[in-house]
Amino acid sequence: METNATEKYRWFIFGILGTIYFLTCLHRVAPTVIARDLAQAFSADATVLGLIASSYFYLYSAVQPPVGILSDSIGPRMVVTIFTIIAAAGGLIFGTASNAAMSTLGRALIGAGVGGVFVPSLKIFSRWFRASEFASLTGILLAITGLGGLSAALPLTYLVLLLGWRISFVLLGAFSLFLALICWAVVRDRPEDKGWPPVEIEAAQSQPVASRPSEDMRTFNRLGLIFRSLNFWMITLALFFSGGVSLTFQGLWAVPYLMDAYGLSRVKAGGLLMVIPFGFAVGAPVLGLLIDRFALNRKGVVIGSMGLSISCWSILLLFGGRSSYLLVIPLFLILGLLGGGYLTVFMTITKELFPPWLTGTAVGLINPAAFLATALYQPLTGFVLDKVGRLDSGAYPLQAYQLVFIVFLISIFIALTATFMLSLPKTNTS
């Protein structure tokens, strides 16, 4: 049972980790704002710009498994602190880079550094908040993803216009270093580190001995427990095929689709694109709150969400480009709401499937699935578009995007099938 001090202190922890995670999401889409500046600074073509931007995602994905293992071994507070310092170094290198190679190195260090935030944050929240609050907290944290995307669109643009892109990223690096120091000073892995009783001490005392880590439970044994779980693989597949669709469309093809299929200007298309991260920012915490408040069936919620997602892509396939562009506003909003929603549910299911001492490792292994899928889907969908070819105007025809939407529909169907194969305990589905 929490003391009043625990109740207050945990929100300081959440605020610090949430702020660090906000920078993670801002960095994720920041190259869009400064692409022209980078091209001019380094005489870079589109291929080089793509390499600079993508280095974030490759390193972000690569560090997820070790971050999860480290969170369970040396502690999540130390992991967040160390990796935020790495991100700060990356920001400083990126802002002062003299060539494309140094810029790529800086961007890669940013990706590696911010990759050590989400998983250990969930680990810390699982110790400071009740189990009945976890879905809500996860949803709020994921909502910051949408806020980071929105902030990278306008506020960062104004900051770059005011100070220039180099100074802007040096300041972001310095701010990250400041947050790392604050994290080390304030954040604690568990209430016991402050001399307070654990949250839900009854649950901890009633935990079966078999679910507690033995003294010889090394990394190899931890990985074995996770890899032997069919549920782990089904969640990973579902996130891979659903997350790859969302990130690929939002991060690459949404604006070209609106411009080519509806003849919109880049500014208007970019404005409509903001509907997706807005929906994500709303859907993640709202669905998390509903799950905690009403104990909704986790598996049923994901199945329903994916079914609705299939409906949205089907409408875009059949009617997109043939009717008013206003049609895409509710569809984009729903896709954003669903993306934030079922990601929250999957993270909650993962936390409930494994004991607390395996949470960090399990989430760390699952988390990179969508990012790895995006790295594959972006060139795959580009290949699909190029197979159809451009029009004389330089735009892709509607038929090319329809083929991409078919690829997306097939992917969501695979994710839905994997979700159906989940076998959850009654406590997770009640």
| Residue (of 82, 69, 138) closest to 114 by Cα position | 82
Question: Same CATH topology for 1-190 and 229-430?
Answer: yes
Number of Cα atoms under 13 Å in the Cβ half of residue 113: 28
Residue 120 burial (CB count, 10 A): 30
Backbone angles phi, psi at 36, to 5 degrees: -65, -35
Q: What is the pLDDT of residue 207?
A: 45
Domain with residues 229-430, CATH architecture: Up-down Bundle (1.20)
Q: Are 298 and 291 a contacting pair, CB within 8 Å? A: yes
Q: Are 368 and 238 a contacting pair, CB within 8 Å? A: no
Rounded CA-CA distance 37/103 in Å is 12
Task: Please state at what angle helix 165-186 crosses helix 4-29, rounded to 10 degrees.
Answer: 160
Q: What is the pLDDT of residue 239?
A: 93
Angle at CA 81, nearest 5°, toward 78 and 87?
A: 140
User: What CA–CA distances, in Å, run from 100 to 86, 107, 156?
Assistant: 19, 10, 21
263: left (phi over 0), alpha (psi -120 to 50) or beta: left
Q: What is the pLDDT of residue 202?
A: 40
Boundaries of every domain in the chain: 1-190, 229-430
Which residues of the chain fall short of a pLDDT of 50? 1, 201-210, 214-216, 429-430
Q: What is the pLDDT of residue 208?
A: 43
Q: What is the pLDDT of residue 334?
A: 94
What CATH number should be reported for the domain whose range is 1-190? 1.20.1250.20
Quick: pLDDT tens for 111-152.
Answer: 999 999 988 998 999 889 988 887 788 888 878 877 776 776
Q: What is the pLDDT of residue 132?
A: 80
Q: What is the pLDDT of residue 47?
A: 62
User: What CA–CA distances, in Å, run from 276 to 246, 331, 334?
Assistant: 9, 9, 8
Backbone angles phi, psi at 267, to 5 degrees: -65, -45
- Report residue 309 as tokens: 């997602």
| Residue (of 313, 294, 336, 408) closest to 142 by Cα position | 336
Rounded CA-CA distance 370/405 in Å is 18
